[in-house]
Amino acid sequence: MSLLPVEEALERVLALVAPLPAETVPLREGAGRVMTMPVTAGLTQPPFSGSAMDGYWLDAADHLPSAKLQVVGESAAGRSYQGEITRGQAIRIFTGAPVPREGGVVVLQENTTREGDWITLADSLSGNDNIRPKGQDFAKGAPFHPARPLNARDLGLLAAMNVAQLEVHRKPVVAIIATGDELVMPGETPGPDQIISSNSFIVAAQVEAMGGIARMLPIARDDRESLRMVFDLAKGADLIVTSGGASVGDHDLVGEVAAELGLERSFWKIAMRPGKPLMAGRMGEAVLLGLPGNPVSATVCAELFLKPMLAKMQGRDPQITPRRAVLGCDLGPTGPRTHYMRACLSATDGLPMIMPFDNQDSGILSILAQADALLICERDSGPHKQGTEMCYLPLM
C-alpha cells in the first residue's frame, strides 16, 4: 500500500461529511454557530435620528458662536420631547434620545453655559452635528447572513435587528471510543501490563473546543462482543471516533467489527509522522474516523482530520490555513512523510519563532502537553536552516 498524501486524505475524510441540518436556537446561544438561512432586520436602526452626546439640540440655523437660546424642554432616552420648538429655542438632550426633528445639531454640554432656562453657546463651535441619522446602521428588512461562525458582536447586531432566534447548523454529536485490553480509566488501579486511557480525554476536549458535543463511551476490549456493545452505545452520534485498533496488527479488530456492522471502510496509510494509519468511512447514519492508538498520533490526526470534519459539519470553512513562523534551529531533511513536529512558539518583533522539541518520540505525552504548535516539515523537503520561514498549526 503506497502512502497517501495528507491533502488527499483530508479531501477523502471531508467527502464523508456534510453540513448538519438546521436547528432553532435562542439568540443567547448563537455564539460560534453558523446560520443556515438569512434573517432580516425587524426595524430600522437607529429607529430615529438621535443624539450621540449629552448636550443641547437646536436648529442648525441657530448654531452660531455665542448664540443665546431658551431651553424649552428635554429629550431623554425613552422619553422624547413632544412639544413645539422654534428658532431661538433649544432642548436639553441626552445620549441616545430622539431629536425633535431633522435640520438640527446637538451642541455638547461642555460647549455651553447655562443660566436658568437659557444657554449660551461657546465662542468656537465644531462642525459636527453629533446626531446619528435614522437607518445609519441598518434599515428594516436588511438581510444578515454571514458565512462564518457568529461572534459576540454579531449577537449584538442581531439583537438590535430584533432577531430573537436563529436557524443554525446543528452541533455534531461525537461518540468517542477507546479500544484496547491494556486500557483502564483514570481513578482505577491498572494491572501490571496496563496503562490509563488518555486519548478519549484529549479527543473529547478537542471536540468541545471545536463546538461539538462529546460523548465518551466505555473502553472497548479487544474482542468482538465488547466492540459490538460499545458501537451499539454510539447509536445516534453523527461521528464515531475510535482510537487504537486501526493498525494492521493481528489484534486490530475495530475495523473488522465495524465492517460487520455496516462500515464502508477505507483504510489508509498516510504520508505523515506521527500518525500513519487512519480508518474512515460511512457507517449507517454516522461517519467513523479511526485514529491511531498512540496518543500523540491520535492528537495530530485529530488536528489534521477531525477538526476540519467538525468544521464542515457545522457549516464552517474546513480549510485550516497554516500560520508562519521563523525556525529557531537547523533541521535535517524530512524524508517521504510530512513531519508534524511538536514545537513551542515564542514572540519576537516580527513573526514568532518556532522551536521543535529535541525528543519527537510519539509516545511522550509530557512533551505533547507542553507544545503549542505543530511545525510542518513537508515530505521530501529540507534540510531547513535556522531563520527559514516555516508553516505551523497552532494546537488546541
Residues of this chain, 338-377, that bind a second copy according to CB under 8 A: 347, 349-351, 361, 363-366, 368-369, 371
Closest distance of CB 300 from a second copy, Å = 10
Closest distance of CB 49 from a second copy, Å = 11
Q: Which of residues 240-279 bind a second copy (CB under 8 A)?
A: 247-251
Interface size with a second copy, residues (CB under 8 A): 95
CA-based nearest residue to 348, from 369, 324, 376: 324
- Residue for grid cell 434599515: 139
Q: Which of 72, 134, 218, 222 binds a second copy (CB under 8 A)?
A: 222
The amino acid sitting at 305 is F
Stretch in the footprint of a second copy (CB under 8 A) among 4-12, 208-216, 227-235, 262-270: 208-216
Using CB under 8 A as the binding rule, whether residue 166 contacts a second copy is answered as no
Q: Which of 182, 269, 357, 360 binds a second copy (CB under 8 A)?
A: 182
Nearer to a second copy, 27 or 119 (CB): 27
Closest distance of CB 252 from a second copy, Å = 9
Nearer to a second copy, 147 or 285 (CB): 147
Nearer to a second copy, 66 or 359 (CB): 359
Stretch in the footprint of a second copy (CB under 8 A) among 11-19, 25-33, 278-286, 376-384: 25-33
Nearer to a second copy, 348 or 386 (CB): 348
At 171, give phi and psi (nearest 5°).
Answer: -75, 135
Stretch in the footprint of a second copy (CB under 8 A) among 15-23, 115-123, 148-156, 333-341: 148-156
Residue span 32-61 as binding mask against a second copy, x where in contact by CB under 8 A, dash where not: -----------x-xxxx---x-x-------
Closest distance of CB 361 from a second copy, Å = 7
Nearer to a second copy, 148 or 235 (CB): 148
Length of the chain (residues): 396
Stretch in the footprint of a second copy (CB under 8 A) among 24-32, 230-238, 262-270, 312-320: 24-32
Closest distance of CB 20 from a second copy, Å = 22
- Please answer whether residues 17 and 313 qualify as being in contact, where contact means their C-beta atoms are separated by less than 8 angstroms: yes
Q: Which of 10, 69, 121, 132 binds a second copy (CB under 8 A)?
A: 132
Q: Which of 190, 262, 335, 382 binds a second copy (CB under 8 A)?
A: 190
Q: Which of residues 76-95 bind a second copy (CB under 8 A)?
A: 76-80, 92, 94-95
Closest distance of CB 193 from a second copy, Å = 5
- Please answer whether residues 326 and 356 qualify as being in contact, where contact means their C-beta atoms are separated by less than 8 angstroms: no
Nearer to a second copy, 87 or 153 (CB): 153
Using CB under 8 A as the binding rule, whether residue 197 contacts a second copy is answered as yes
Q: What's the rounded Cα separation, in Å, for the pair 44 and 50?
A: 13
